[in-house]
Structure 1
Amino acid sequence: MNILWFFALFAGSCIAIQAAMNARLGQLFNSALLATSYVFFTSFLLVITIALLVNSKSLIHQWQQISFSIVPWYLWLSCVLSVIGVGSMYWLIPKMGVGSVMSYSLTGQLILALIISHFGLFDSPQKLISSTKLVGALLLIIGITLVNKE
């Protein structure tokens, strides 16, 4: 597992911070959708700028080599899930709090991740659900219930 766990932990921390910040932005804009639009647009500009600065010739070559016809139609819809997930979090955080929203959303992510891995969906590595993983998921659900108990 080496040090990759640290990067995953850091990535999750970034998501929690940005979700709280952008939920507040949504409040100030009086629109979670407007905040979501801002985040996706500026993120797109930032990624394109970094990609061009890092390796523009290779990026252009890679773009030209893509055969868009081999991409299954449903993969193009991942953006819809991103907007629903991110926009919902920005809308929910002012109502529920960052901790509650993050704990429920991470539980949903973990449960679906177990199912996706079990069946190897979207060509992801197949990792069967074991009894140990089921107990872990159940303990997570119990823990989330306790964390959110008022």
Structure 2
Amino acid sequence: MNQYLLSLLALIGGAFLALQGSLNAQLGLLLKNPLLASLIAFCSSTCFAFCLVLLTTKHYPNAIIIREVPIYLWFAGGLFSLIGISLYYYTIPKLGLSTMISFGLCGQLVFAVIAGHFGWFGLPTEPMSLQRLGGLVAMIVGILLINLK
């Protein structure tokens, strides 16, 4: 897949995350419980993912492959997802969608640049450069401008 199509898919994914965040934050407000909204979102996501796996997967991992997966990888992503998504649902109604998403993206990008620089989690190393640092500074300035009242 070429870089332009991958970039477009990433942009669409980001828009969908903002959309789901606002819808599920609204659900959390109506239920008066953002954690319950997270549970409902994860349960419905599980159902959708289960259906897609059934429709698209030709070969499932065997027992040997499953045993090779470190225990923490079965749970850590779900835990961090729960914390991150629940914080979105809790803060969107208090801060507003653009404010929360802008701060959330800032946190994601700052962490991603640091993790990429050090090659954490077995991912390719992406060394820090003046260009990357300039991009982070520009993003932080942009976030301040977006949230200036």
TM-score (norm 2): 0.92
Q: CA deviation at 1:75?
A: 6.4
Give the 3-state SS of the residue equivalent to 1:129 in structure 2: coil
Instruction: Tell me the residue number matched to 1:108.
Output: 107
TM-superposed CA distance for 1:72, in Å, is 5.9
Q: Residue type of the partner of 2:85?
A: V
Identity of aligned residues (%): 33
Worse-superposed segment, 73-82 or 29-38:
73-82
- Could you tell me how far 1:98 is from its partner in structure 2? 0.3
Q: Deviations over 1:92-140 (max 9, x none)?
A: 0110000000000000000000011111111111110101110110111
Q: Are positions 1:44 and 2:9 aligned together?
A: no
Computed over aligned residues only, the root mean square deviation of the Cα atoms, in angstroms, reads 1.6
Correspondence 1:31 to 2:30:
no
Which residue in 2 is equivalent to 1:87?
Answer: 86
- Please state whether the residue corresponding to 1:139 is helix, strand or coil: helix
**Unaligned stretches of 5+ in structure 1?**
none
| CA distances 1:38-97 after superposition (whole Å, capped 9, x unpaired) | 001110111111111223x523xx153423344263663221111110001001011000
Find the counterpart in structure 2 of residue 58 from structure 1.
59
**Structure 1 residue 11: Cα displacement:** 0.3
Residue of structure 1 in register with 2:11 after alignment: 9
Over 2 Å off, 4+ runs: 63-70, 72-76
Q: With the length of structure 1 as denominator, give the TM-score of the two structures.
A: 0.91
Q: Which runs of 5+ in 2 are unaligned?
A: none
Separation in 2, partners of 1:126, 1:143 = 26
Partner of 2:133: 134
SS at the partner of 1:127? Answer: coil
